[in-house]
Chains A and B, each alone.
Chain A
């Protein structure tokens, strides 16, 4: 399978703990996006990378959230000191620079107790 992959698929954590999610984009895609989706809503943009450079961050991305893409391939999204309001599906997507079409991974569902 050559699609976008995310790990883990599910994560349950206690409030105050840190969590880290990983996204592996489609191999030739140099753009990588993170979105958050809550129940009954569409995905909300968090941040995106072109190669290893983080080019844009949403105001939704509080200082407890950090994303990296150190070698321009996979990316990680870390949430520090999780809160119950962080419970959501975290989606990753990738695209090429030339063609805007974004392809999504299966998501990581986070539950903060």
Chain B
């Protein structure tokens, strides 16, 4: 089955800097890659997703890149703000099947 690895497990940046979180997956058939943000005591909230037919997607300060050949995808957050502090999860799935999550990255943005 699918295995997703996520790095780093913790990331601390200064406000205004960029943050990058990377994930690798094992199943070359996976074609859907969402990113979720989870704040303490809450469920994961979708922030951006990408499908295998595109290599990059951007939404304001957030972007995701996908390299299907290398089987890795990354989340980029620019101009970070203290409210970006949370745990971020990547996931991979074959559309129509169950989703596998990475172990999470705890992002801290220092004011």
Interfacial residues of chain A within 58-113, with CB under 8 A of chain B in the complex: 58, 91, 100-107
Interfacial residues of chain B within 47-104, with CB under 8 A of chain A in the complex: 49, 89, 91, 93, 95-104
Majority secondary structure of chain A interface residues (helix, strand, loop or mixed): loop
In the bound complex, do residue A101 and residue B34 qualify as a contact, i.e. CB atoms below 8 Å apart? yes
| Residues in A whose Cβ lies below 8 Å from that of B41 | 106
| Residues in A whose Cβ lies below 8 Å from that of B111 | none
Q: How far is the CA of A105 from the CA of B43 in the complex (A)?
A: 6
In the bound complex, do residue B43 and residue A91 qualify as a contact, i.e. CB atoms below 8 Å apart? yes
| Residues in B whose Cβ lies below 8 Å from that of A107 | 42-43
A16 within 8 A of B: no
Chain B residue total in the interface (Cβ 8 A)? 25
In the bound complex, do residue B49 and residue A101 qualify as a contact, i.e. CB atoms below 8 Å apart? yes
In the bound complex, do residue A45 and residue B104 qualify as a contact, i.e. CB atoms below 8 Å apart? no
Q: How far is the CA of A101 from the CA of B49 in the complex (A)?
A: 8
In the bound complex, do residue A45 and residue B46 qualify as a contact, i.e. CB atoms below 8 Å apart? no
Q: How far is the CA of A51 from the CA of B95 in the complex (A)?
A: 17
B45 within 8 A of A: yes
Q: Tell me which of A4, A41, A56, A104 contacts B104 (CB under 8 A).
A: A41
Q: How far is the CB of B86 from chain A (nearest CB, A)?
A: 13
Q: Chain A interface (Cβ within 8 Å of chain B)?
A: 4, 6, 33, 40-45, 48, 56, 58, 91, 100-107
Q: Chain B interface (Cβ within 8 Å of chain A)?
A: 4, 6, 32, 34, 36, 41-46, 49, 89, 91, 93, 95-104
A-B contacts, 28 of them at CB < 8 A, read A6-B43, A33-B98, A40-B103, A41-B103, A42-B6, A42-B89, A42-B91, A42-B101, A42-B102, A42-B103, A43-B101, A44-B101, A45-B98, A45-B100, A48-B98, A56-B97, A56-B98, A58-B98, A101-B46, A102-B34, A102-B99, A103-B46, A104-B36, A104-B45, A106-B41, A106-B42, A107-B42, A107-B43
